[in-house]
Amino acid sequence: MMPYDTIAAAEAALGRNLTAAEALWFRYSAKMPDSLLYFHNYIFLFIVFTLVPLPLALLELRLPSALVPYKLQPKVQLPPASFFRCYKDVLRGFLLVVGPLQLFSYPSIKFVGIRTGLPLPSAAEMVAQLTVYFLVEDYGNYWIHRLLHGRWGYEKIHHVHHEYTAPIGFAAPYAHWAEVLILGIPSFVGPAIAPGHMITFWLWIILRQVEAIETHSGYYS
């Protein structure tokens, strides 16, 4: 929630006119609690997870011959029921794990300094911060993944993620609830190291999910 009642007051505080993007952001978020803005991540995760893997899932129903050479396991074709079951199970995880996590992790977002006000970040600032986020997350995810492939980690937690031996985009977040929580740590460390604007954080969550879906798509990149 912004400390300005009007655009004119915001412009006076900044000492300049708002850009079109900043004016749009003001109209949308000025009276909205920061906690609700943060909870938008939950909505974005649901939309991205539903729509991004869908085209390739539909192609699986009748795979064109031209795409067969690009498939990692060309002889494996999952039935529609598998996609639906995977989608349903992940949505259950979103509801029971990710949703509560969004609610309880909000104080940490405020603590590290992710802001919601004006001015909006420049494109260069966003690119620099997103670069840090991807590097930190990739490094942390690699080592956590290696640990989860140890005997105890695999038997108790990580084996759930490998129930789908033929990779599909919908299975990217398909995992044990504990793995969902553990792998959320490296996704948050980057924004904690280089905190930026909430819009940058939204974009990070979206891009990270798209990357995971692409990695699990079952096709060569």
CA 4 to chain centre: 30
Which one, of 112, 116, 105, lies nearest residue 184 by Cα? 105
Give bridge partners of residue 115 from the DSSP assignment: 197
- Count CB neighbours of 193 within 10 A: 12
Q: Is residue 221 over pLDDT 80?
A: no
- The answer to whether 38 touches 204, Cβ cutoff 8 Å, is no
Percent of the chain residues past pLDDT 70, beyond the cut? 100
Please give the mean pLDDT across all residues of the chain: 92
Residue 117 CA to residue 33 CA, distance in Å, equals 11
User: What are 73-87's pLDDT values in tens digits?
Assistant: 888 878 888 889 999
Categorize the per-residue pLDDT at 162 as very low, low, confident or very high, splitting at 50, 70 and 90: very high
- Residue 115 has phi, psi (to 5 degrees) of -105, 165
User: What are 102-119's pLDDT values in tens digits?
Assistant: 888 999 999 999 999 999
pTM of the model: 0.93
Q: Which DSSP symbol is given to 159?
A: G
Q: Is residue 214 over pLDDT 80?
A: yes
Q: Is residue 59 over pLDDT 90?
A: no
The stretch 85-103 carries a mean pLDDT of 90
Give 19-70 as a DSSP string: PHHHHHHHHHHTTS-HHHHHHHHHHHHHHHHHHSSHHHHHHHHT--GGGGGG
User: What are 194-206's pLDDT values in tens digits?
Assistant: 999 999 999 999 9
- 3-state secondary structure (DSSP) of residue 120: coil
Residue 97 CA to residue 91 CA, distance in Å, equals 10
Write down the pLDDT at residue 138.
96
